[in-house]
Chain A
Amino acid sequence: MNKPKVGIIGLTGCSGDQLVILNCEDQLLDLVGAIDIRDFLTATSANDTESRLDVAFVEGSVVSQKDEDLLRRVRERCTILVALGTCAVWGGIPTMDRDQDRPALLRAVYGDLNWEYDTCPAKALHEVVKVDLNLPGCPIEKDQFLATVANLLNGNLPLLPDYAVCTECKMKENNCLLIEKKQVCLGPVSVAGCQARCPSLNIPCVGCRGPCTDANLKSAAATYAENGVAMEDVIRKMKTFAPVPVSEQP
């Protein structure tokens, strides 16, 4: 059997999801044996940027024409496009610019630009091209990435959790930070898959994996209200990692 041809490509972002791939230290050499990595600029200087790819993993969000052009080229040359990480899936931290005056933000950071600077409001991959699979997380979880590769090698798509972080938190028998400590925890409205990492360390969930599309928003809103947590704090916090549409706000 021919090994599937794979590209690991970064748009604008922190490279955290590519770093998680490199952090699979125990599996890395098996991984590069099982797939044919054609294009991985962060790890190698021998890249083939033209040939067909069976799978392209794309990290980061689109914040420039250059990003958008690259993403369209990748879409054309790949069969399965996987959005890798919350920036790719939802837009991530850069989309905090959604309700703000972007030219003013640019001036605030860079001063007055006297030249044409390639920049545009931050977008998720699905806002530009068709995405076949979403792997959220800021960064992605190692085991979910490896499970995804294993499933793709067998011709399947992976089963990823679509329930809320609260489900995993209850399984770990943690004390509830929202109900018992009245903290702004996004567990009820954020998608699971992290084994409730933060609440397990007494840290409220910041929603870095993005919203849970299967959340019971009415019940979450009632629970926040009962515990004296202001809804505007919840929404502001949710919008840190994803420009959550109103239909997915509690």
Chain B
Amino acid sequence: MTQTIKIDHLARVEGHGGITVNLEGNAVKEVRFDIYEGARLIEALVVGRSWEDVPQIVSRICAICSAAHNLTAIKAIEDAFGVQVTPQTRALRDLLYRGESIESHALHVFLLAAPDYLGYPSAIALAADKPEAVKLGLRLKKLGNTIQEVIGGRAVHPVNSVVGGFGATPTFEQLFALRRDLQQGLSDCEAMVEVLATLPPADFCHTPTVFAALDTAGDYGYYEGNTLRLTTGKSLAASKYRKLTNEMAVPHSHAKHSHYDHKPFMVGSLARVMLFGEKLTEKAQAAARKLGLTLPSDNPMDNNKAQAVELLFDVEYALETVEGMLREKVKPETPVEIKPKAGTGTAATEAPRGTLFHSYTFDKQGKVTAADVITPTAQNLACCEYHFRAAVDQDPEKNPAVLAKHLEMIARAYDPCISCSVHLVVSR
């Protein structure tokens, strides 16, 4: 007997996608993560444009990850032109990136993922019964946005971050107000851990998984560094990213998929915590224990817990950064001068959903001749299908309604950003 489980429109994710699973008897025949997002051709459209226009254009690939796209393009352009920025610029970029991560994780954990655990269709419905929990999530989300507004000039599609530095430096008064918000944020994070620790477990998909993340060299972070690490023990230079993200046409799916050593891999919060969790503060590690996040993880649903741990860590880290800036007084700086030259620049960073690659080739006037963007969601699709398959295989009863709910929860745990992913995924 054949049976199809089909979710036409995946709700509470960014962009348009669906899930299809075909069963024959109890055996899984086909698993597909379908992508319905239209093609905007952004990489082709930046060809011929000046380097100056690129970070603003590519930020429009995705709103939730707009700071990540903007800053990763900037890192790639600076790599191509050999630009060195000031320590203050580096610190402000780190803060902007963390602001985005705080916003993105709070949105995902509270508004998109949590309703599933408690059996609600949305956070709006959840708010009717548990207003305090939703308000807590909204406060943390707002904190991330406030950081992005203060540093990036806008919460969605930052404008202040440019190649070479920032248009304007945040003022002492702005940073002082931000410090107060971060202090409130830290106690909100503690409350968050208490709330999330009460959620029922999500134990329906356990399977050995390979994880990959950028080694940000110093502290646990998202922006610096050029070496990729895998939980298999292998490493490779970011400039060789194509070896990791090699798009493989797989027979069971419409999409080209990323595999490394013939295995799908997962990127994102859980991958980062798996690879670099020992760099987290004691407080963040205690939160992980309280949430029942045990490593090594074999459960993709743990990504939700890892996001909560990162959220707490980032608020702690951002507070320390801002206090340092207040002590040492930020000084007004202008972006360093840029001298375009012919060549290719490549950058990897850790976007909220995982490793993001941007690569651009320029002519000697600094006009783009080739552009390539590979997003976390595109890399994750193969692994997500691998986890769909495992969840269906492991379910003894194969009740279609229960399976559909589990598949949706797994997809959502990946926090897929489908607007981002369409670069290399085309639906039939």
Partners in one complex: yes
Point out residues on A near B: beta carbons under 8 Å: 10-20, 22-23, 25-26, 28-29, 32, 37, 40-47, 63-64, 66-67, 92-94, 96-97, 100, 102, 105-106, 108-110, 113, 115-119, 122, 138-139, 197-198, 200-203, 206, 208, 237, 240
Q: How far is the CA of A63 from the CA of B39 in the complex (A)?
A: 7
CB distance from A174 to the nearest CB of B (A): 11
In angstroms, how far is the closest chain B Cβ from the Cβ of A7?
A: 14
Contacts of B131 in A (CB 8 A): 29
The verdict on B1 contacting chain A, using a C-beta distance below 8 Å, is no
The distance from the CB of B36 to the nearest CB of chain A, in whole angstroms, is: 7
- Give residues 22-52 of B contacting A (CB, 8 Å): 36-45, 47
Query: How far, in angstroms, from A118 to B13 measured CA to CA in the complex?
Result: 22
Is the pair B45, A96 in contact by a Cβ cutoff of 8 Å?
A: yes
Q: Is B124 touching A44 in the complex (CB atoms < 8 A)?
A: yes
In the bound complex, residues from chain A placing their C-beta under 8 Å from that of B66 are 14, 16
Closest CB-CB distance, A228 to chain B, in whole Å? 17
Stretch at the interface among B153-161, B180-188, B385-393: B153-161
With CB as the reference atom, state the residue of chain A lying closest to B9.
Answer: A41
Question: Which A residues are in CB contact (< 8 Å) with B11?
Answer: 41-45, 47
25 intermolecular pairs with C-beta atoms under 8 Å apart: A13-B40, A16-B156, A23-B156, A25-B141, A25-B142, A41-B11, A42-B14, A45-B11, A45-B12, A45-B121, A45-B408, A63-B40, A64-B39, A93-B42, A93-B60, A96-B45, A108-B44, A109-B41, A109-B43, A110-B39, A117-B426, A202-B168, A206-B56, A208-B157, A237-B53
Q: Enumerate chain B residues within 8 angstroms of A47, measured Cβ to Cβ.
A: 11
Q: Is the CB of A43 within 8 A of B45?
A: no
Q: Answer whether residue B234 sits at the interface, using C-beta atoms and an 8 A cutoff.
A: no
Q: Are the CB atoms of A122 and B157 closer together than 8 Å? A: no
Interface set, chain B 46-100, CB cutoff 8 A to A: 47, 53, 56-57, 60-64, 66
Q: Assuming A23-B155, A28-B138, is B167 touching A12 (CB within 8 A)? A: no
Question: Chain B nearest CB: distance from A239 CB in Å?
Answer: 11
In the assembled complex, the Cα of A43 lies from the Cα of B145 at a distance in Å of 18
Give which listed residue, A11, A44, A45, A93, contacts B45 with CB less than 8 A: A93
With both chains docked as a complex, state the minimum distance between the C-beta of B116 and any C-beta of chain A, in angstroms. 9
A208 to B157, CA, bound (A): 10
Give the CA-CA distance A13 to B423 in the complex, in Å: 13
Nearest first, the 3 closest Cβ-Cβ pairs linking A and B are A16-B63, A44-B122, A46-B121
- A102: chain B residues within 8 A (beta carbon): 41
CB proximity of A93 to chain B, nearest CB, Å: 5
In whole angstroms, how far apart are the Cα atoms of A125 and B157 in the complex? 22
CA distance A25 to B106 in the complex (A): 12
- Besides A13-B419, A25-B141, A109-B43, 17 other A-B contacts (C-beta < 8 A): A10-B15, A15-B14, A15-B15, A20-B155, A23-B142, A40-B122, A42-B12, A43-B122, A44-B12, A94-B42, A97-B45, A109-B423, A139-B156, A200-B168, A201-B153, A240-B56, A240-B57
**Residues in chain A near residue B60, CB distance under 8 A:** 14, 16, 92-93, 138
